[in-house]
Chain A
Amino acid sequence: MTAPRREMLGYAFVAPTLVFLVAFNVFPLAYNLVLGFTDAELVARGFEWRGTANYGRVFADPEFAQALRRTGLFVASAVAIELVLGFVVALALRARFRGRDVLLTALLVPMMLSPAVIGLFWNLILDGNYGVLNQALGALGLAEPQWTTDSDFKFLSILLIDVWMWTPFMLLISLAALNSIPGTLYEAAEVDRAGRWTVFRRITLPLCAPLLGLAALLRATDALKQFDLVMAVTGPNDERTQTVSTLLYQVLFRDGKLGLGSAYACLALVLVIALATVFTRYLDTLARRST
Chain B
Amino acid sequence: MKALRVLVLAAWALVALLPLVWLGLTSLKTRADTIRQEARFVPVLARPGAGEPEAPAFAATLEAYGKLGEVHIGAEQSFWQHLGHSLVIAFFSTVASVLLGTFAAYGFSRFRIAGAKDWLFFVLSTRFMPPLAVVVPILLVYRRLELGGTHLGLVLLYTAFNLSLAVWLMKGFIDEIPRAYEEAAEVDGYPLLAAFWRIIVPQAATGMAVTAVFCLISAWNEYGFALTLNHSGAITVPAYFAGLQGSIEGMPWPQVAAGALVFVVPIVVFTVLVRKHLLRGVTFGTIKQ
Which residues of A come within 8 Å of B, CB atoms?
Answer: 1, 6-7, 9-14, 16-18, 20-21, 23-25, 27-29, 31-32, 35, 85, 88-89, 91-93, 95, 101, 103-118, 120-125, 127, 129-130, 132, 135, 164, 167-169, 172-173, 176, 179-180, 211, 214-215, 218, 221, 224-225, 227-228, 231-232, 235, 244-246, 248-249, 252-253, 258, 261-262, 265, 268-269, 272-273, 275-277, 279-280, 283-284, 286-287
Contacts and interface: CB of A to CB of B under 8 A. Distances in A.
Given A14-B103, A112-B271, A249-B228, A286 B125 contact: no
Contacts of A121: 19, 23, 26, 256-257, 260
B223 interface: yes
Contacts of B17: 106-107
A269 B133 contact: yes
Interface string B276-289: 00110011001101
Interface stretch (B7-15, B43-51, B60-68, B203-211): B7-15
Contacts of A280: 121, 124-125
Given A116-B221, A121-B260, A176-B289, A111 B12 contact: no
A164 B128 contact: no
B264 A124 contact: no
Contacts of A135: 37-39
B146 to A, nearest CB: 15
Contacts of B34: 124, 130
Nearest to A34: B137
A23 B224 contact: no
Contacts of B256: 120-121, 124
Looking at B15, B130, B135, which has the most chain A CB atoms within 10 Å of its CB?
Answer: B130
Given A224-B128, A276-B124, 19 more contacts: A10-B113, A14-B103, A16-B103, A18-B104, A25-B160, A91-B5, A92-B12, A114-B223, A117-B237, A118-B19, A118-B260, A120-B241, A125-B22, A129-B35, A130-B37, A167-B12, A225-B128, A227-B223, A272-B128
B111 A123 contact: no
Given A107-B12, A173-B287, A32 B272 contact: no
A35 B139 CA distance: 13
A276 B125 contact: yes
A272 B23 CA distance: 35
| Main SS at interface, chain B | helix
A201 B227 CA distance: 47
B132 A252 contact: yes
A21 to B, nearest CB: 5
Contacts of A23: 160
A280 B125 CA distance: 8
Contact of A113 (B136, B242, B257, B267): B267
| Main SS at interface, chain A | helix
Interface string B200-231: 00000000000000000100110110011000
Interface residues of B, number: 96
A28 B128 contact: no
Interface string B95-114: 00000110110111011110
B108 to A, nearest CB: 6
A172 B160 contact: no
A276 to B, nearest CB: 4
B177 interface: no
26 contacts: A1-B186, A6-B111, A10-B112, A14-B107, A14-B119, A17-B103, A18-B123, A20-B100, A21-B163, A24-B126, A24-B161, A28-B134, A31-B140, A32-B133, A105-B272, A110-B20, A112-B271, A121-B26, A124-B256, A176-B279, A225-B128, A225-B224, A227-B223, A245-B132, A268-B133, A283-B124
A87 B48 CA distance: 51
Contacts of B19: 110, 118, 121-122, 125, 164
A89 B8 contact: yes
A105 B163 CA distance: 26
A273 to B, nearest CB: 7
